[in-house]
Amino acid sequence: MAGIVGYGVHIPIYRIKVEDIAKVWSEDAESIKKGLNIREKSVPGKDEDAATIAVEAARRAIRHAGIDATELGALYAGSESHPYAVKPTATVVSAGIEAGNKLMVADLEFACKAGTAGMQMIMGLIDSGMIRYGMAIGTDTSQGRPGDALEYTASAGGAAFILGKDKNGIIANVVKTVSFTSDTPDFWRREGASFPSHGGRFTGEPGYFRHITGATKLLFEETGMKPSDFDYAVFHQPNGKFPKMVAAQLGFTEKQIERGLMTPIIGNTYSGSSLIGLAATLDVAKPGQKILVTSFGSGAGSDSFAIEVTDNIDSKRKNLEKVMDIVERHKTYIDYSAYLKNRGSIRKT
């Protein structure tokens, strides 16, 4: 099957702390930090949206992969905050990385798993022989209504993954991928609505936990693998609490998930969430190690992947910008008023 030949991540430099949000709503910051396992989140700049974030991540992925952008045969951009209702984000990205005109592009939308769905589609095109390389992106400037619980976690960021079949270039093989899907109305946003609606505390079990465990157990059944076979595990991260809970339910340890658990320091990047966690894990993974990744998208579905790192990973790190370096570089804290101004600018564009 197709494997990963390169990846890139982009996180905006701006951050807002839980304390600054809680102060506005007269809420207990310490209780929120403990309950959601989150300290701060990323915030897009006035000139940043899901498209610009995707372009930066895609450029880094191209450099890491060591290929020319014109070699891409397909590019899919997954998001639930595409800048335009009618106008593809993916065409903006393809132009931004100078990929040329000879490629198929499309926007994807499946809540927070649109990026992993793109990876599966790219794999199919590569394995069929239709293309040599393809790029899948998960990117979002997440929405959360002011005063809603989502406001503490909904953040901004994205990750781009390039897949191919060149054995000398693959840094991680995708051993197996499966999906688990149902019609579960746990989270939604109508056309034209600025913010999503959700079922609050009733969304966890029928949505997140059912689908994450369903997809992961299906992967175990089809591969004969078990939690102890993996060195790392990455789960979708709506907050910093749920991934720990679902990991324990499935038999994984906190040590297996700690490297990819990014929400406590950048928030929930929606379509970028599980992919950024995978990127952070690949930053430190060694040849031969195995990584489990299971995404989740409300509505609802999960994609699960068994990934094995190859010997090529170390030699290609010279062209890599590591996730934690990007997270910490030029990090700038803003207050709630600046946060609202940045959000307002994104909504109007």
Q: Are the CB atoms for 115 and 274 separated by under 8 Å? A: yes
User: Which of 130, 161, 125 has the alpha carbon at shortest distance from 1?
Assistant: 125
Assigned token pair, 326: 């990007």
In the chain, the DSSP E strands lie at: 3-10, 14-17, 40-43, 72-78, 104-108, 133-141, 156-164, 172-181, 187-188, 197-198, 232-235, 290-294, 301-309, 332-333
Residues pairing with 112 in the sheet: 110
Does the CA dihedral 298-301-306-310 come out positive or negative?
negative
Give the Cα separation of 32 and 279 in Å (integer): 27
SS3 at position 174: strand
Give the Cα separation of 93 and 51 in Å (integer): 7
**Which of the following is catalytic: 48, 112, 198, 321?**
112
**Which of the following is catalytic: 10, 64, 211, 236?**
236
Assigned token pair, 88: 């593809």
Look up 27 and say whether it is catalytic: no
What's the Cα-to-Cα distance from 71 to each of 54, 62, 126, 300, 310, rounded to whole Å? Answer: 18, 10, 12, 34, 22
User: Which of 243, 240, 343, 344 has the alpha carbon at shortest distance from 18?
Assistant: 240
Look up 10 and say whether it is catalytic: no
Peptide bond into 300 cis (omega under 30): yes
User: Which of 206, 204, 211 has the alpha carbon at shortest distance from 179?
Assistant: 211
**Which of the following is catalytic: 48, 80, 151, 321?**
80
Element spanning 114, H or E: helix 114-128
Look up 112 and say whether it is catalytic: yes
Residue by residue, DSSP assigns 48-66 as: --HHHHHHHHHHHHHHHHT
Assigned token pair, 91: 């065409």
Residues pairing with 141 in the sheet: 156
- What residues act catalytically? 80, 112, 236
